[in-house]
Amino acid sequence: MAGVELAELIAQLRAELTEAMRAGENAGLRFELGPVELELALTVSKEGGAGGKVRFWVAELGTEGKASRTSTQRIKLVLDPRQAGVPDRRPLISGEEVDGER
């Protein structure tokens, strides 16, 4: 199936935010990380058999409707990142703008 599993996408996002925090540790200007909103097209598939499970895939453009046992749903996730050990304070991030970044 085309696409990325939802858990993998969130793990990649966590890694990117962690790297941005590390890069900004000694920066003169830092930003407090607020809620992170993701709007996704998810493909839900169910594996058959006794141990079958439901999996959520982030759909790639153009993949909707290709598989007969999947359905595509649009969802919005709002994540509120917190650092382990200081859950009452939002983390600070910084970094250089990357080409094409908005």
pTM of the model: 0.61
Q: Are 92 and 24 in contact (CB under 8 A)?
A: yes
pLDDT of the residue at 80: 87
pLDDT in tens, 3-24: 688 888 889 999 998 898 888 8
SS3 50: coil
Residue 61 pLDDT grade (very low, low, confident, very high; cuts 50, 70, 90):
very low
Residue 65 pLDDT grade (very low, low, confident, very high; cuts 50, 70, 90):
very low
Distance (Å, rounded) from C-alpha 86 to C-alpha 80? Answer: 13
Q: Is 72 exposed, middle or buried (0-12, 13-18, 19+ CB in 10 A)?
A: middle
pLDDT in tens, 36-60: 888 888 877 776 666 667 777 777 6
Tell me which amino acid residue 73 is.
Q
